[in-house]
Amino acid sequence: MVATRDESEMTTTTTTIAAENAHVDPPPRNNGARVAYWLIAPGVVWMGLFLVLPMLMIVYVSFWTQTTFKIEPILTTKSWVTFFASDTYLGALGTTVRIWLTVLATTLLVGYPSALFVGLFVKNKTIQTVLLTLCVIPFWTSFLIRVLAWRPMLGKEGAINLILMKFGIITQPIEALLFSDLSVVIGMTQIYCVFMVGPIAFMLARIDPNIIEAARDLGAGFWRIFRTIILPLSMPGVVVGAIFVSVMVLGEFATSAALSGRKVNLLGNIIVTQVGSLKWAFAAVAGVILTIVIGAVVAGLLRIVDLRNEL
């Protein structure tokens, strides 16, 4: 409410303040850079201490010596050797990549046509906003609750099996729906597809309708227009969406824990279980590998489109 007062006072007080401060020198243009450094310093220090330092610490600890219940700062590559010699850990790396690629494909498949509709076909700005808001509303429910909500959907006695049986499409409930790869993919697709829809719809909405109009006047069909105009112009949106989805899916562990019944182990799940049994060095190795994977994926995606030229 302070702002209310400030606002109303603003116009009237500017002149009086000006009179009071007549002796103050005009804008300190030359030391603007110094002011900028003071303003940015707290944020940089914060990120340095609480983001960069922890990440370096993971790399450092991954070379520590792990004994049964503690770690000692004696450098060794033993944890790394253990990781690459273990089927469980390598399997988790494989599962992570497999689930990530699947979810990336499904979010794109589910998200692109919806984004196409919202961004390009809906001309009315109000309806466009309403549709995008509808996509975002589920975000105001706890992430974990949204994950859990899939259990009564997919379970053996869940809603989907119930509906399918009622319509006589199946006679036996499909058990593979829950506690499988499929349930994890379905859950993640629902949670993350909005991050795909948003950026793509944003890019599509920026396409000049005259270009499409011109192409149509010249006799191009829908697929031709889609291939040569819409798809290339929406690529930056796809890349941004893919970066969001990739980063989040690769760092996941809760969805797989809740919907796979511990059958699907991602690198994130490995980290959680290792920390749970105080195997910090192993957790750190998994952490470093996860960081490398994420870094490679993001760098690869940025190769496709140079975002700084596009946005």
Partner 1 sequence: MQSAVMKPALALYTTLFLVFLYAPFAILAILSFQTGPEGGPQFPIIEWSSYWYQHLFGLAPPSRVAPLPIGESLFRSMTLAFMTMIVSTVLGVMSAQAFRSRFKGSGIVFYLIVLGMMVPGVLVGLGMALVANFFGIDRHWWSTAFVLHVVYTFPFAFLVMLAIFNRFDKSVEEASWSLGVSPARTFRKVTFPLIFPGVLSAMLFAFTLSYDEFSRTLFASGRDLTLPLAIYGTFAVEIHPNVFAFGVLTTLFSFALLGVYAILMSLSVRRARRIAIQEE
Q: Which stretch in 22-30, 79-87, 97-105, 234-242 sits in contact with partner 1 by CB under 8 A?
A: 22-30
Q: How far is CA 229 from CA 202, 235, 304, in A?
A: 15, 10, 17
Candidate residues 36, 101, 130, 170; the one interacting with partner 1 per rule CB under 8 A:
36
Candidate residues 40, 105, 211, 311; the one interacting with partner 1 per rule CB under 8 A:
40
Q: How far is the CB of 90 from partner 1 (least distance, A)?
A: 19
Q: How far apart are CA 192 and CA 265, in angstroms?
A: 19
The residues in 154-213 that bind partner 1, with binding defined as CB under 8 A, are: 155, 157-159, 162, 190, 193-194, 212
Candidate residues 200, 284, 297, 301; the one interacting with partner 1 per rule CB under 8 A:
284
Q: Specify the amino acid at residue 32.
A: G
Q: How far apart are CA 101 and CA 43, in angstroms?
A: 35
Q: Is 76 in the site for partner 1 (CB under 8 A)?
A: no
Q: How far apart are CA 230 and CA 134, in angstroms?
A: 24
Concatenated DSSP letters for 28-67?
Answer: --TTHHHHHHHHHHHHHHHHIIIIIHHHHHHHHHTTSEE-
- What binding mask, one character per residue, do residues 48-67 give for partner 1 by CB under 8 A, x or -? xxxxxxxxxxx--x------
- What binding mask, one character per residue, do residues 118-147 give for partner 1 by CB under 8 A, x or -? x--x---------x--xx--xxxxxxxxx-
Q: Closer to partner 1 at the Cβ: 88 or 262?
A: 262
- Residue 2 falls in which region: left (phi positive, over 0), alpha (psi -120 to 50) or beta: alpha
CB 289 within 8 A of CB 112: no
Candidate residues 100, 150, 179, 282; the one interacting with partner 1 per rule CB under 8 A:
150
Candidate residues 221, 263, 296, 311; the one interacting with partner 1 per rule CB under 8 A:
221
Candidate residues 97, 165, 174, 248; the one interacting with partner 1 per rule CB under 8 A:
248
Q: Which stretch in 10-18, 75-83, 85-93, 234-242 sits in contact with partner 1 by CB under 8 A?
A: 10-18
Q: How far is the CB of 189 from partner 1 (least distance, A)?
A: 8
Q: How far is the CB of 53 from partner 1 (least distance, A)?
A: 6
Beta bridge partners of 66: 71
Q: Is 22 in the site for partner 1 (CB under 8 A)?
A: yes
Q: Which residue has the tokens 């005009």?
A: 26
Q: Which of 94, 100, 203, 191 is nearest to 147 (CA)?
A: 191
- Tokens of residue 47, six digits: 């990120």
The residues in 103-122 that bind partner 1, with binding defined as CB under 8 A, are: 110-111, 113-114, 116-118, 121
Q: Is 87 in the site for partner 1 (CB under 8 A)?
A: no
Q: Count interface residues toward partner 1 (CB under 8 A).
A: 103
Q: How far is the CB of 126 from partner 1 (least distance, A)?
A: 16
Q: Closer to partner 1 at the Cβ: 131 or 174?
A: 131
Q: How far apart are CA 269 and CA 275, in angstroms?
A: 10
Q: How far apart are CA 224 and CA 226, in angstroms?
A: 5
Q: Is 232 in the site for partner 1 (CB under 8 A)?
A: no
Q: How far apart are CA 62 and CA 271, in angstroms?
A: 12
Candidate residues 199, 237, 241, 268; the one interacting with partner 1 per rule CB under 8 A:
268
Q: Is 12 in the site for partner 1 (CB under 8 A)?
A: no
Phi, psi of 141 (to 5 degrees): -105, 145
